[in-house]
Every structure is written in C-alpha cells, then in structure tokens.
C-alpha cells in the first residue's frame, strides 16, 4: 500500500505497544481460565475478569490471540504487520458481532459492554501498530516518501 509508512521513526515504540496488547490478551486469558475452572465452555453467567465478562471459550481464544501477537512481535520481519492487521480486523468483527448479540442466547463468548469496548479499542490500537511498524529497504522508504509527496 503506497500510503503505509515504511521505516517509521517511532517503529520500535509501535512494536512495543503491539507486544503490550498481546501480553494483555494473554494475561486476561490466563486469569479467565483460572476464574472459569469448572464452568461450561460457553457459560453465560456473571463471571468477570478485569471488569469484563468472560467464559472459558473467550479466555482460551484470548490466549491464542495474544500468543499470535507476541509471536509476530518477537519474529518481526513484517510478519508482525500482517498478523497485527488481520487480527485487528478479526477482533473488530468479533467485537461488533458480540455487540449485536449482547443480551441474547447467542452471546457465546459471554461479552459484556465493557468487553466489547475493550476489544474494539484494542483492535484499533493493533491496527495502528500494524500500519506504522512496517520495515523495508531504503528504496522502499524513498518510494513511499515520493508517493506521499505526490498525494
């Protein structure tokens, strides 16, 4: 994409923020698994973890999502950009779908409004991180600068 920055000066900060988002998902997931021991996989009760609704299914999904984000952050090489952007879009879909089914029996992940807000905010942060942490050669950076100046 021509308007995605290459070798942004704040790239290390964005990568660290992406790692923190991944770490948050892992910590939330582990605490959710601990809080939901003995519950059904898709239990729809009032179990709260860090102020958010959670069940065993969403807790395990959070661990997987956080692990993928951390894996991409550690590996780098623009793999983190791809992982962060795709997971950001997936989290937006999950958050909006959960918002639509919030007070119904279809709320399989036991979301509360706080969970929806946190998931949507973290997805936007992850999308921003994915857009500004792209690494490239000096030629790619110069091409991006030229494309940016033309627009």
Distance CA(106)–CA(120), nearest Å, equals 19
Could you tell me the pTM of the whole model?
0.89
Q: Taking 80 as the threshold, does the pLDDT of residue 1 lie above it?
A: no
Looking at residue 141, its pLDDT comes to: 76
| Structural contact between residues 134 and 5, judged by C-beta atoms closer than 8 angstroms | yes
The rounded percent of the chain whose pLDDT value lies above 90 is: 68
Q: Which among 73, 89, 55 is positioned nearest to 11, based on CA atoms?
A: 73
Q: What is the pLDDT of residues 31-67, one digit of tens each?
A: 999 999 988 888 888 889 999 999 999 999 999 999 9
Q: What is the pLDDT of residues 2-34, one digit of tens each?
A: 567 888 888 899 999 999 999 999 999 999 999
């Amino acid at each position: 994409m021509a308007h995605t920055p290459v070798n942004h000066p704040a790239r290390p900060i964005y990568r660290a923020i992406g790692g923190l988002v991944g770490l948050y998902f892992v910590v939330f997931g582990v605490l959710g698994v601990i809080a939901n021991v003995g519950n059904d996989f898709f239990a729809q009760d009032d179990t709260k973890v860090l102020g958010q609704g959670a069940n065993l299914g969403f807790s395990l999904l959070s661990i997987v999502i956080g692990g993928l984000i951390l894996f991409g952050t550690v590996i780098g090489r623009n793999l983190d950009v791809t992982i962060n952007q795709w997971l950001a879009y997936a989290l937006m879909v999950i958050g909006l779908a959960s918002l639509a089914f919030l007070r119904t029996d279809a709320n399989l992940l036991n979301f509360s409004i706080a969970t929806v807000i946190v998931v949507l905010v973290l997805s936007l942060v992850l999308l921003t991180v994915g857009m500004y942490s792209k690494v490239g050669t000096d030629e790619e950076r110069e091409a991006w600068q030229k494309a940016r100046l033309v627009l």
